[in-house]
Amino acid sequence: MTGHDLKRARLALGFTLYDMARALRLSGGREAAVKHLRTMEAGARDVSGPVSRVVQALQDGWRPPGWPDSEA
């Protein structure tokens, strides 16, 4: 998955940068997590395999436990 693919998926899901950072459980607090996601979307940081898998799961309808509107 490229950074462009990641951004396209986030926008298709209707997620803000922070929503996606939370769903991916990026660490470091709000600002750091959003910055990390921005660098991946810009192609300055590789999108890891685990991130790619979670994004695919999100596109397939999975949501983390406790996520608004999730059944888990």
**pTM of structure:** 0.89
Contacts of 42 (CB under 8 A, 6+ apart): 3
For the segment 15-68, what is each residue's pLDDT rounded down to a tens digit?
999 999 999 999 999 999 999 999 999 999 999 999 999 999 999 999 988 888
What pLDDT sits at residue 54? 96
Q: Is residue 72 pLDDT above 50, yes or no? A: no
Q: Is residue 71 pLDDT above 60, yes or no? A: no
Q: How far is CA 59 from the centre of its chain?
A: 10
Q: Is residue 1 pLDDT above 80, yes or no? A: yes
